[in-house]
Structure 1
Amino acid sequence: MELEYLKIIITICLAVIGWLIAHSFTARRDLKNKQRELSTTHLINAYRILTNDVANRELTDERKEKLENILADIQLFGSKKQVEFAKNLAITVAEGNQFELNPLINSLRNDLRKELNLSKVEGNIKWLRFTKSK
């Protein structure tokens, strides 16, 4: 009779340990997925603002503020390479020099396409800009 109780206790303990291990792995996976989702969302937003609002446009006060915020987001969520591009861009803009966005935009595009399981695209973006009608 005692052997039956021992078997039941061991079975229950193994089930609880298995559940705890599975829960731990699931929690880690969920956290990693949430981090990836948050990072991807911010980098997509940064990419959109850089390509639509900043690149090849006159830098108004509003666009300057957007660029400041985007560079901060990229330095928080971007890859090491993107962080370096963002730092260099910030220094170049602060010094009042002409700046090139293509390296940063291409890096963002390549990493986002990889994260979204899309094929790699070579070359720079082609810009379409309309002039304002009078």
Structure 2
Amino acid sequence: MAEWYTATSDEAQQRLVGAWPDAPIENLEVCGFLLETARVQVLAYAPETGMLAGAVELALVQFGLADRLADVLVLLDADPTDPPINYVYAQLQQATNLWNAGRVSGGGDAGVEQFTFTPRPLDKTIKQIIRPVHGGPRVR
């Protein structure tokens, strides 16, 4: 299943650069700070039942199958403490936002040709990745 991004080994760094080519791996300490801070922020915003077991349990409860959680986790070959894929993706996006926020000059310039932007940590797009808005039941 999904694993949090880190920069703690060569393999983890290769995985990170594969997903985020501009990751600041030339300074592993800063890169680690960004990834860990992003992970903490994602978990702080996530619902309490955010780990895989909690998400699966919520789905099973909806169908009256809460007692089948262990069976489903075995079928998924999943560790119940693995983070959901959307949390890992949100961590990557948040780390990117944090890195970009730190690179903006005092005048607000970032990039080329005077392109400017203001990154917003844990912006609404990342919040939607962590806590998707679900519509009501479908009526046929």
Q: TM-score, normalised by structure 1?
A: 0.29
Indicate the structure (1 or 2) with the bigger Cα radius of gyration: 1
Higher helix share: 1
The one of the two structures with greater contact order (alpha-carbon pairs below 8 A, sep at least 6) is 2
